[in-house]
Structure 1
Amino acid sequence: MPIVGREIVALDVDKFQEIVKSDDVVIIHLSAQWCGPCRAFTTVFREAAGNHDDVVFASLDTDSQPELGSAFNVNSIPAIAVMRGGALIFTHEGSVGEAALNDVIRQARAIEVGEVHRSVTSG
């Protein structure tokens, strides 16, 4: 069972495989320890994690997990990736504010998991 709520999951390949099996909304913060903007966005990300118990929040250090990081095809960090029903539905490079992150979460929740599965299998 995925970890939800206040705890942020530190992603590696095994944890990623477990998380994507669920139909939950998963928000992934792609970052690196040396990245100042990434550290600044971490505050917004942690605040959101504390306010959305039905969403899985995960962090991905692109330096320690380069293969997993490259799977998201982002060119700069910080970045967020949003998954639903095991499919990547949204990515954004750069920091976002609390209101924008909450809006992304709202939109991800509104997506029907069955529709995500149909679009993945037909695409």
Structure 2
Amino acid sequence: MATIELTTDTFDETVSKDGIVLVDFWAEWCGPCKRFAPIFEQSSTVKPEIVHAKVDTEEHQELSVKYGITAIPTLMAFRDGIMVFNQAGALPGPALEQLIGAVEGLDMDEVRAKIAEHESAQG
């Protein structure tokens, strides 16, 4: 599956689906973003079962604000509608593969239990 472009209208619907969604927040003027783009695109070819999506921070500034994007590129990983990773900085290919493996290996029942525990502790 090729990389898809997300907009304000399609973001929430896309990341809330079952499975893994990787989102690359980027901008045309960003050198590190341009260096990361082919790595991200290659990953979308190798792992077609994972949604690889991009958000142009210049065109969709409201998403940048909503998700607290202060540096680009920023990569987020969602699994079954839950954000499980959020980090600024371009990743080399092996690190992206390692991240995907970690997200695939998550016990989502355990993740949901920790979220529920955290929310109940917040009152």
Tell me which of 86, 94, 103 is aligned to 2:98: 103
Tell me which of 59, 75, 87 is aligned to 1:80: 75
Q: 2:111 aligned with 1:116, yes or no?
A: yes
**Does structure 2 retain, via aligned residues, the 8 Å contact 1:82–1:89?**
yes
Partner-residue secondary structure (3-state), 1:73: coil
C-alpha RMSD over aligned residues: 1.4
User: What displacement does 1:51 show?
Assistant: 0.4
| Structure 2 residues not aligned, in runs of 5+ | none
| Structure 1 residues not aligned, in runs of 5+ | 1-5
Q: Aligned equivalents of 1:119 and 1:64: distance in 2?
A: 35
Q: Name which of structure 1's ranges 20-29 and 37-46 shifts more when overlaid on structure 2.
A: 20-29
Q: Aligned equivalents of 1:19 and 1:113: distance in 2?
A: 18
Partner-residue secondary structure (3-state), 1:13: coil
Letter of the 1:74 partner, please give it. Answer: I
Q: Aligned equivalents of 1:18 and 1:57: distance in 2?
A: 14
Q: Aligned equivalents of 1:84 and 1:44: distance in 2?
A: 20
Q: TM-score, normalised on structure 2?
A: 0.87
User: What displacement does 1:74 show?
Assistant: 2.9
The list of structure 1 runs, each at least 4 consecutive aligned residues, that deviate by more than 6 angstroms after superposition, is none
User: What displacement does 1:41 show?
Assistant: 0.6
After superposition, the Cα gap between the structure-2 partners of 1:19 and 1:120, relative to the gap in structure 1 and judged at 3 Å, is farther
Q: Aligned equivalents of 2:111 and 2:8: distance in 1?
A: 22
Alignment of 1:1-123 (within 5 A): 6-122=1-117, 123=119
User: What displacement does 1:21 show?
Assistant: 2.5
Q: Aligned equivalents of 1:19 and 1:121: distance in 2?
A: 23
Q: TM-score, normalised on structure 1?
A: 0.87
Q: Aligned equivalents of 1:23 and 1:121: distance in 2?
A: 19
Q: Aligned equivalents of 1:52 and 1:30: distance in 2?
A: 19
Q: Aligned equivalents of 1:99 and 1:37: distance in 2?
A: 16
User: Which digits, 9 at most, give the CA deviation of each residue in 1:1-49, with x for residues without a partner?
Assistant: xxxxx21110112211221231211111110011111111101000111
Report how many aligned residue pairs link the two structures: 118
**Does structure 2 retain, via aligned residues, the 8 Å contact 1:12–1:65?**
yes
